[in-house]
Structure 1
Amino acid sequence: MNNVKRLNKWANAHTYFPVDLLRIALGVFLFVKGISFITNVQYLQDLISPIDTMGGGMFLVHYIAPAHMVGGIMIVFGLLTRWAIIAQLPILLGAITVNLIGNMHSQSILLAFLTLGVCLFFLFYGSGKNSADYYFKMQE
């Protein structure tokens, strides 16, 4: 807990508007990806088919899209950003695994690696000053 407070203090002292725009863009991207998975469930089932042999395929279908949508909204507003990103990490690692095990799509794996990298950045950086977390913290 002490490490998180120290990271928050550092991030709030070194916050920049372009970093906040990157966080908002990440949240919008995840939300739109969740919407696309809901509107095309068969595409999502085809994507997870290489790892569906382990079981839990229907659980994954019902976890991925809502986690992207809710997590994306939370990341856009900067509300519990680290928790929202922690919920995204298994999905992104699964996306990389699916691309490595199944048919390799260079654009998809590049997008998954890029999204994972940005998520890991915000996992350590936090939500910054222009966020709901900072606003609620200042209300205390």
Structure 2
Amino acid sequence: MNLIQRMEHWGDTHHPKWLDIVRMVLGILLFMKAVEFMNNMDYLSTLIGKSQFLSSISIGVMAHYVIMTQLIGGFMVAFGLLTRFASLIQIPNLLGALIFINPPSDILSPSGSWWLSLLILFLLVLFVVEGGGPWSCDRLLENHPMKTK
């Protein structure tokens, strides 16, 4: 059994039910943030442009990538559908927010969004390891009577 299979097995056998509530809330928050970004596309483009790392065309592409991954990924995390994959595709968004968007001087600010981004990144990594849990679509599909073996 390789490392990924052992990690999946451990996550499936050691998943408390209360963690599913955290997963659902995280998915809803990510989905809501994507809707907020869709409604304020100029603000998102300004945030991404602050990094001065991308050209103007790349900023538009990156803004659409962030919105789509958070919209689709947030929905999938909330319902526990392909939770590990949905969490994994959102990690680059959070890494970008931590490194480029939220300035390092924001770390010591108690109201700064750096800590919130770090918490969400930690939860996404946790759900990459833990998976969907007992209250997820993943579990329903896994235990479905029509499942082919």
User: TM-score surpassing 0.5?
Assistant: yes
In the alignment, what sits opposite 1:11? Answer: 11
Asked whether 1:99 is paired with 2:108, we answer no
2: CA distance between counterparts of 1:53 and 1:127?
Answer: 35
Note the aligned Cα RMSD (angstroms): 1.9
1: CA distance between counterparts of 2:64 and 2:141?
Answer: 31
Q: CA deviation at 1:52?
A: 4.4
Q: Aligned residue pairs: how many?
A: 139
Q: CA deviation at 1:8?
A: 3.2
In the alignment, what sits opposite 2:92? Answer: 90
In the alignment, what sits opposite 2:121? Answer: 116
In the alignment, what sits opposite 1:27? Answer: 27
1: CA distance between counterparts of 2:29 and 2:132?
Answer: 16
TM-score normalised over the length of structure 1: 0.89
2: CA distance between counterparts of 1:58 and 1:43?
Answer: 12
Matches within 5 A, 1:38-49: 38-49=38-49
In the alignment, what sits opposite 2:77? Answer: 75
Q: More displaced, 115-124 or 1-10?
A: 1-10
After superposition, what is the alpha-carbon deviation per residue over 1:2-22, rounded to whole angstroms, capped at 9, x for unaligned? 444433332332222210000
Q: More displaced, 72-81 or 50-59?
A: 50-59
In the alignment, what sits opposite 1:133? Answer: 138
CA distance 1:129–1:7, change in 2 (3 Å)? farther
The answer to whether the 8 A contact 1:7-1:126 is kept is no
Q: What is the one-letter code of the residue matched to 1:54?
A: L
Q: Which runs of 5+ in 1 are unaligned?
A: none
2: CA distance between counterparts of 1:52 and 1:64?
Answer: 17
TM-score normalised over the length of structure 2: 0.84
More helix by share: 1
Q: Which runs of 5+ in 2 are unaligned?
A: none
After superposition, what is the alpha-carbon deviation per residue over 1:16-55, rounded to whole angstroms, capped at 9, x for unaligned? 2210000001100100100100011111112111224422
Give the share of equivalent positions with the same residue, in percent: 34
